[in-house]
Chains A and B, each alone.
Chain A
């Protein structure tokens, strides 16, 4: 009963707000008006984190790649894959950035999501376990019984750490994981709340230069070498409803990925425009790579690792999760 009441109250607020804002749905109908390219929808909202991974979205916007396709893209800052999933389901976002582990976890729980484009792949030293400068931990084996801080439990972070523990003859049962957002992690590890942290850029550079942290191990080596990290997702329903819009998005993103992977300067130029990473930091941080095609063999590796380490209980055929770009 209480939940119903709460829903009613929310619905009441919605109804009133709708009346007062003059019906929020009106801009959707404008999107579907006739356009030269025959797109089902010409204006789309795309969610992206303010980090280097989705740089192609902003490159494509700045270089006019979306415009060439007859597409207007409104980038929306999201706060994480977990929050973005309900947003693409509700229709607040058309497409969103996602990390592949989150996506496959959601798929294993029956969510109807399609991966529509690749975005970011790990490179050497893009995701490291870092320890304070005077830490007694010298090797991965020394982590036994220690606490490792990660940004999310049961996600890419713990998976990557587990692959390194395995090399050292340990399992996740030998360590403790604690959760902390990246921005707070350096300070938390430094003050002794944990013994080590799984950290990515620009925080690797920041903790090295600011706190004197040292790298214990690069977690993107061995089983996780060149691990696909992030891509773009839409709901299955959306992908079926707007195939031409999707294809246009895919072509423009692929073109921008191509540019990002061949010219680092383009990335460095773009980062200060949509993140708070300044030009100086942008020029020194370590970046992964930006593949221009969604390759199912590479992505399958992620799903297989998740199965091996018990993140999912039954295998996922990645091919079924990909909305492949249509030819032409």
Chain B
């Protein structure tokens, strides 16, 4: 079933590329400023043997991973804590709801000004942006815990910590995982945006900045292509991890394996 879905997805992407190729080659012709998909894919393949680009890819992905880990380390415990203590949550909730929709990219210029170490600045904006989806999903997960299960454990004499560990955390885990998956995409956007705005010694965004100053639209698109591929891969890996780990959750909520 998954392979059929992949096949359809691949066919859609290939169709789009083919239409783009034909349109750029034959309708726009020589005046085309935007390179044809075949040219971009060719450059994208070459990038895999370009040490500059590989170093940049490494830097961006390191920032991405570091930012994700730190965000998970902050947001999950915070979400569990707030979820377990409803009065505190009610007090903080309005602030969270206000800060959450602020576009994270808008804090990059502020971060450039405040944080003197380049890598730290980039990781910090990723952490900031990723905290929200993870925190909010953890909170929802904590709310969704079956009250009957909690009561049953309590009536058997389990303390609040035991209830948290045996019922609330496992029950909230699928929500946390969804939050992490959403954050993974956001982290990639922030990782590249920070590089586009601030520059740096290496990174996918830095590579794009260099390519654009050198009038190399093909290289810009090729680097962007790999950023997109990484985003798709990260999403697929996290999604299949969720499927495997939380199979019971999907059964319980009746979600379809679509």
> Which B residues from 107 to 133 make CB contacts under 8 A with A?
107, 109-121, 123-125, 127-128, 131
Contacts of A281 in B (CB 8 A): 214-215
CB-based contact B209/A77 at 8 Å? yes
The answer to whether residues A14 and B120 also contact, given A9-B128, A83-B197, A87-B112 and a CB cut-off of 8 A, is: yes
Interface residues on chain A, number (Cβ under 8 Å)? 51
Inter-subunit contact B215/A203 (CB<8 Å): yes
Instruction: List, in ascending order, chain A residues with CB within 8 A of B206's CB.
Output: 77
What are the residues of chain A within 8 A of B124 when measuring CB–CB? Answer: 10, 13-14, 17
Give the interface segment out of B95-103, B166-174, B224-232, B236-244: B95-103
In the complex, which residues 181-208 of chain A have their Cβ closer than 8 Å to any Cβ of chain B? 181-183, 186-187, 190, 202-203, 206
Determine which of A6, A25, A51, A89 lies in contact with B213 in the assembled complex, contact meaning CB atoms within 8 Å.
A51
The answer to the question of A106 belonging to the interface, with a C-beta cut-off of 8 Å to chain B, is no
Residue of B nearest to A76 (CB): B201
Contact B196 A90 (CB under 8 A): no
Q: Once the chains are docked, how many angstroms separate the CA of A51 from the CA of B212?
A: 10
User: How close is B201's CB to chain A, nearest CB, in angstroms?
Assistant: 5
Whether A91 touches B116, Cβ cut-off 8 Å, given contacts A16-B70, A77-B199, A181-B212, is yes
Residue of B nearest to A182 (CB): B213
**Known A75-B201, A76-B199: A9·B212 in contact at CB below 8 Å:** no
**B33, B118, B201, B209: which contacts A50 (Cβ < 8 A)?**
B209
> What is the size category of the interface that chain B forms with chain A?
35 or more
Q: Name the A residues within 8 Å of B209 (CB-CB).
A: 50, 77, 79
A residues bordering B, Cβ < 8 Å?
2, 5-7, 9-10, 12-14, 16-18, 20-21, 24-25, 47, 49-51, 74-79, 83-84, 86-87, 89-92, 181-183, 186-187, 190, 202-203, 206, 210-211, 274-278, 281
Give 27 pairs: A residue, B residue, CB < 8 Å, sorted on A.
Answer: A5-B95, A10-B111, A10-B115, A14-B114, A16-B127, A17-B70, A20-B66, A21-B119, A24-B120, A50-B210, A74-B201, A79-B196, A83-B197, A83-B198, A86-B109, A90-B112, A90-B116, A92-B112, A92-B118, A190-B31, A202-B214, A276-B213, A276-B214, A277-B214, A277-B215, A281-B214, A281-B215
